[in-house]
Amino acid sequence: MKKMFWLMALIIAAAAVPACAEKKAVVDVLGREVSVEVPARRVVLTFNFEEYVAATGAEGLDKVVGWARKYWEGRRQSTWDAFAARFPHIKDIPDVGYIPKNTFNTEAVMALAPDVVFCAKNDAKKIPDEVKRLAEAGIPVVFVDYHDQTVENHVKSTLLFGRIMGQEARAQALADWYRKCVNKVYDRVPKLASRPRVYMEFSGDKSGPAAVGSSWGKLMWGALIERCGGTNIARDLVPGSDAPIAREAVLAADPEVIVLAGNYRGDAALNVGLGYEAKPERAREQLAGYMSRPGWEGLSAVKNRRLGALYHDLSRHIFDAAGVQFLAKMIHPAEFADLDPQATLAEFYEKFFPVPLTGALMVTLD
């Protein structure tokens, strides 16, 4: 009888072990110490879907019980379409609202009873009350960041995903891959002698080359230009994060390299359309259209045909390593001749992304 009792107890204990997820303390990118169930079984995502999926794979995707649909569908349409084709069930995942548009729905989140909610660092100041309320309901919020465009945050955020979702090995591989790819550029830049003048512009306005899109000052692409060994001609001309600069200023600065950040629409009529449905020849054509802007025929970049375009999302994402390499190669073609940004991107898709790489995300004029 006693033996039976102990046997039963052992069986029950053994059955209970796998179901036991522990509460662990993690430190997020804001330095907050958060107590989370590890591994989490129910996740709400408000941002950085690509990074989450890259770090946690299809398994991670299965655990998403709610997300900010507006982050993806409609804004990154071609990515959404690719994912919806591969994982039809994501169309049924409930929408919890989109923080930048102030539609975040705390109640909807609570109703889903998630183990963790992932948010972007830049949204933190928009939702302090919501975070508190969720914490009181026992739902921890963890902040990640890819927007600052620092290697440190990219790595830390990726590892956070991995740790919390029980995919530490995969996330570590991803972080290591990223570091390796960008350091191929960052390690060499300090030794470079020249800092060519670079002009970057967002090609998103529906008027095409006739309208002037935003350039970046000290953030995002602006910061990346400098980190890749270039001089951003718009650095001191943009007051906020991004704004158009005067056409005259471009002519006066005479950039040696011009890069356009293309938008999401692969079939855009006039801007440099890049994305999963884009065709490289078409994108190249549209890029060439920019050379006929008034006064541009006199620019060094145009005379030497040093124009390029890359997908705007090749920044502030875990795969921006390809963007960094592309930019470096455009600014210092000789020094970075050994880099192959397209191959880097392909490597990412092969190793870490469940949907295939299609379309055109980077083009140069020739």
Partner 1 sequence: METHSSYARQSKRKCSLLLVFAALLLLAVLRDVTTGAAGLGFKQVTAAVFAPDSVSPTARAVVWSLRLPAALTAAVVGASLGLAGAVMQTILANPLASPYTLGVGAGAAFGASLAIVLDLHLASLPPEYIVPLFAFVFAGGVCLVVAMLGHSRAGSSAVMILAGIALLFLFQALQALLQFFASEGDLQAIVFWTFGSLQKAAWSKLGITAAILFAALPLVLCDAWSYTALLLGDERAESLGVRVASLKRRAFVLVSLLTAAAVCFTGTIGFVGLAGPHIARALCGDDQRFYLPLSSLCGALVLSAASTLSKSIVTGGIFPIGVITALTGVPFFFALALRGRWTR
Kindly state the smallest distance separating residue 291's Cβ from partner 1, in Å: 13
The smaller minimum CB distance to partner 1, of residues 11 and 210, is found at 210
Phi, psi of 360 (to 5 degrees): -130, 125
Q: Who contacts 359 (Cβ-Cβ below 8 Å, separation ≥6)?
A: 78, 266, 274, 275, 276, 277, 278, 279
Nearer to partner 1, 244 or 359 (CB): 244
Residue 123: name the closest of 188, 250, 29 by CA. Answer: 29
Identify which of residues 251 and 357 has a Cβ nearer to partner 1 in the complex.
Answer: 251
Could you tell me the smallest distance in angstroms from the CB atom of residue 233 to partner 1?
8
Q: Give the nearest distance from C-beta 38 to partner 1 in angstroms.
A: 34
Separation of alpha carbons 241 and 215, rounded Å:
9
Comparison of 168 and 277: residue with beta carbon closer to partner 1: 277
- Cβ 129 to partner 1 shortest distance, Å: 21
**Could you list the residues that contact partner 1 (CB under 8 A)?**
74-75, 100-101, 202, 204-208, 210-212, 214, 234, 236-239, 243-249, 251-253, 263, 269-270, 294-295, 297-298
Calpha distance 227→344 (Å, rounded): 19
Nearer to partner 1, 138 or 295 (CB): 295
Rounded to whole angstroms, how far apart are CA atoms 306 and 318?
A: 27
- DSSP sequence for 179-207: HHHHHHHHTTGGG-----EEEEEEE-STT
Give the DSSP H/E element, type plus range, for residue 260.
Answer: strand 257-262
CB 205 to partner 1: min, Å: 6
Nearer Cβ to partner 1 (41/282): 282
For 322-345, letters b (16+ CB in 10 Å) and e give: bbbbbbbbbbbeebbeebebbebb
Q: Give CA–CA dist 62/42, Å, rounded.
A: 9
Nearest distance from C-beta of residue 158 to partner 1, angstroms: 24
Instruction: Give the residue with the Cβ less far from partner 1, 110 or 270.
Output: 270
Least gap, CB of 230 to partner 1 (angstroms): 17
Which residues on adjacent β-strands are paired with residue 308? 259, 364
